[in-house]
Structure 1
């Protein structure tokens, strides 16, 4: 589906934001406050705001990052819960949009299917499917910010397990959880060991007859308090914004410390994590088998259990954990490689996401198709050879929103810089001899499956995507815009080749 050149341009603006989730609303707020003269729209494919936090409706859906860093820097999280449930986060994003007047700039049911840059007029033309995606409209803007998340909304990752068609019960992927589904009294098997599984098991245990978490290999799981005592104390003696800011700084530094300890002394950190689990579950529980991963701490994200709820249902017998591999599905459950059979009425493959950076939009630059693996990231927020476009992509080892806030700040700085100097575009252009690396140094299955389709990162600054908020904050918030790694230009000034982005840099 593609718009023809004869299709009239519906709207022309300064900035188009793709996606009305946590990232899109946050970016819109920064635009309004830092670039108040810039016109903008937020284009959202779905019929409601909230992104992930509106789409995912499985039992117990919650954040796996603390809300004092997952919340926006500009709007204090005042709910009190460290790990908020999905509806609370959705309300937080919605309230932010309403209070700031962002809601009137959102166009729902507008799915961006194409984005095409033309240097002659220094504009993006976006092809947008509307009216149940039967009609294509064209929107033009000077700058584009992709806030569509990092995974495919239409479906999650589903392995082709042998015998799935034989199973007589229900099979439901968490990403497609049906509203009002009743699992009361059912025997439930949750396949997976990631954050979704660790959330599902305790939340379903109360109503289900029994819940079994079936994992091929363990993940790191840590109990965390659901209340931040420091935050509660600071709120009593300081204005809410100051208390929130100090709590945010404390939690950022704490997360950096844990990550650095995990990188430098992984065996020591692992030993501490396993000891804490053993203390939770008792000496008779086989912690080594079920909770000792083959990878180092923070090679994948930690799974967090608020108030140790996951461990509590294991101790109570309402749930159990099985570490084994699937031989096949049967009519009544799952047969394992060990020969054991798990009887089930409901099987939930919490098997992860399909990564899809940029929402799968067909992108071109001056008529040349964009092929992500041929490009490298600049400061974790722009792509080589792609002018006037930013990508909201968060951290793997910290809260998503920390990096999104910084990206929005940098975009606003760039827009203001170009306006005051009568420039039309900015494009990252790396050196010809830049060594490149995979975009993410993360062993999670969803990342490894997607790496061949993703942009790459450079081995050196500013092409290296560092997973460090303090380092990024200093560089993105205060670093020079004209840093020798980007080129600024005016309409019609062709200074790069999207097919060979490195060669033009050398010339």
Structure 2
């Protein structure tokens, strides 16, 4: 959810809505969180605040050609709603439809407040509740709308970890001289017609890998310009093993087998990559070499870092490599000296002609959608806090954040987070607790990044994100098998402080 752009013509609504649980974000994480809460705690009231006009989050925001998952949907999908589509690496549109259908089928959509931008959230120990200030009804540019207040006993952030307002765009020298069109893939214009055009895509990550085969179908030519190589793995667009299981076994059994088959293969590959990086890197390079057409050198696919220091990108049915075998696409590894009127001059002296330049240059991280938090008037700086079991945040009462994996499908960890929130809320009800807070200071604690990658978008903004420690319950294992045990069965009172529930009081709203 993007940070709001408030304007002077906003109207203030005096009516506050109170719910037991307030969820921020109606994407993959938020819809999954709502399902877990209403399924396991049917007596709890909840609402979802969503800044956009539709369900989907990331999968509603990203509309560039070729947008798709880079992990098998059998593991990225919700465990309570198995993926039955033939395509394992699904298009962005089909993923958004899947999220929306899940919300509608379970009545979750009725709890969503669309076009509701959250500005700040304040916790009151005296009232044992959050007061959340929002602007609702503003247009896409943040104009208009009215201010409104929500209150909640528990605040659950499911807004992801990057800014929706725009991706990272480096300051390219000479860009003002460029006579073509420069755009960032995250904010794809609806009116862009790239048919018959010369295109340069800057970047080598998942976005570039998705864009290039799709654009090459109609463009005159597409060049992938990378500063340095990335690791890729070719993956089948359809999971034939999953299709056989689904044909032979009852639905629920087949779905579980397929899901855990993919989880275990992914986990084993990650463990191998971290324990024996040279061997795993060679395995990835060999896989690329088998698909590369003649004349395309392996120097473009030999990174200087170890696998999973940055994400390993999936290439469905080797479509990227096939594109390089045509006269419609090529790859260049070089740095930009300057933009020119007709394209880009490289450090090597070569020039790339371009009508359109697409920057697939990464994201801007943003913690909790840019929302400001305070506890009893004291501002909370997320980058100075620790995550507890990867879900709660130190020194912040009745607050959780839905974190996914960066080395595996996001939903695996996100769903674990929501199951933990449900356990905690049930425990609080059973014991008469009104407040739950993990208490730990950073002083003297060895801390690590929660994202655990060296990608540029992480390195630029990792200081903004909550940290993790090196020992339980202040760290996660980045492995669903190892993380499931403490999240589902671990002690709920370990290094936690609880306070009794106070009698409800009516809070006037000015």
SS of residue matched to 2:171: coil
In structure 1, the partner of 2:116 is 110
1:70 aligns with 2:76: yes
1:298 aligns with 2:304: no
1:28 aligns with 2:38: no
Q: 1:156 aligns with which of 147, 167, 171?
A: 167
Q: 1:198 aligns with which of 199, 202, 209?
A: 209
Q: Report the Cα distance in structure 2 between the residues aligned to 1:61 and 1:347, rounded to whole angstroms.
A: 18
- Does the 8 A contact of 1:48 with 1:108 survive in 2? yes
1:434 aligns with 2:445: yes
CA deviation string 1:10-55 (max 9, x = no partner): 1011000001111111100001101110000000011111111011
CA deviation string 1:335-360 (max 9, x = no partner): 00000000000000000100002000
In structure 1, the partner of 2:508 is none
1:85 aligns with 2:91: yes
**CA-CA distance at 1:180 after TM superposition:** 4.3
Q: Report the Cα distance in structure 1 between the residues aligned to 2:7 and 2:353, rounded to whole angstroms.
A: 49
In structure 1, the partner of 2:394 is 384
TM alignment of 1:130-279, pairs within 5 A: 130-132=136-138, 134-279=145-290
Q: Report the Cα distance in structure 2 between the residues aligned to 1:75 and 1:135, rounded to whole angstroms.
A: 36
- Does the 8 A contact of 2:293 with 2:324 survive in 1? no
Q: Report the Cα distance in structure 2 between the residues aligned to 1:281 and 1:434, rounded to whole angstroms.
A: 47
In structure 2, the partner of 1:59 is 65
Q: Report the Cα distance in structure 1 between the residues aligned to 2:488 and 2:361, rounded to whole angstroms.
A: 37
In structure 1, the partner of 2:454 is 443
In structure 2, the partner of 1:501 is none
- Does the 8 A contact of 1:439 with 1:455 survive in 2? yes
- Does the 8 A contact of 1:121 with 1:491 survive in 2? no
- Does the 8 A contact of 2:367 with 2:382 survive in 1? no
In structure 2, the partner of 1:15 is 21
Range 297-306 or range 437-446, more displaced: 437-446
- Does the 8 A contact of 2:367 with 2:464 survive in 1? no
Question: Which blocks of at least 5 consecutive residues in structure 2 are unaligned?
Answer: 1-5, 139-143, 504-510
Q: Report the Cα distance in structure 2 between the residues aligned to 1:29 and 1:2, rounded to whole angstroms.
A: 35
In structure 2, the partner of 1:323 is 333
1:310 aligns with 2:320: yes
- Does the 8 A contact of 1:76 with 1:240 survive in 2? no
TM alignment of 1:462-481, pairs within 5 A: 462-481=473-492
Q: Report the Cα distance in structure 2 between the residues aligned to 1:317 and 1:295, rounded to whole angstroms.
A: 30
CA deviation string 1:95-134 (max 9, x = no partner): 0000000011001011111100011111001001113153
In structure 2, the partner of 1:504 is none
Q: 1:361 aligns with which of 371, 384, 394?
A: 371
Q: Report the Cα distance in structure 1 between the residues aligned to 2:502 and 2:376, rounded to whole angstroms.
A: 11
Q: Report the Cα distance in structure 2 between the residues aligned to 1:109 and 1:103, rounded to whole angstroms.
A: 14
Aligned pair in 2 of structure 1 residues 386, 2: CA closer, same or farther (>3 Å)? farther
- Does the 8 A contact of 1:278 with 1:285 survive in 2? no
**CA-CA distance at 1:459 after TM superposition:** 1.5
- Does the 8 A contact of 1:114 with 1:126 survive in 2? yes
* Shift >6 Å, 4+ stretches: none
Q: Report the Cα distance in structure 1 between the residues aligned to 2:199 and 2:452, rounded to whole angstroms.
A: 34
CA deviation string 1:308-346 (max 9, x = no partner): 000101112321000000011111000000000000000
CA deviation string 1:395-424 (max 9, x = no partner): 010000001110110101111111111100
Q: Report the Cα distance in structure 2 between the residues aligned to 1:437 and 1:398, rounded to whole angstroms.
A: 19
**CA-CA distance at 1:492 after TM superposition:** 7.2
CA deviation string 1:69-114 (max 9, x = no partner): 1100110111111100011001000000000000110010111111
In structure 2, the partner of 1:285 is 296
Q: Report the Cα distance in structure 1 between the residues aligned to 2:7 and 2:30, rounded to whole angstroms.
A: 24
SS of residue matched to 1:172: strand
- Does the 8 A contact of 2:468 with 2:475 survive in 1? yes
In structure 2, the partner of 1:497 is none
- Does the 8 A contact of 2:387 with 2:468 survive in 1? yes
1:332 aligns with 2:342: yes
- Does the 8 A contact of 2:420 with 2:487 survive in 1? yes
- Does the 8 A contact of 1:120 with 1:491 survive in 2? no
For the aligned residues, what is the CA RMSD?
A: 1.7
SS of residue matched to 2:229: coil
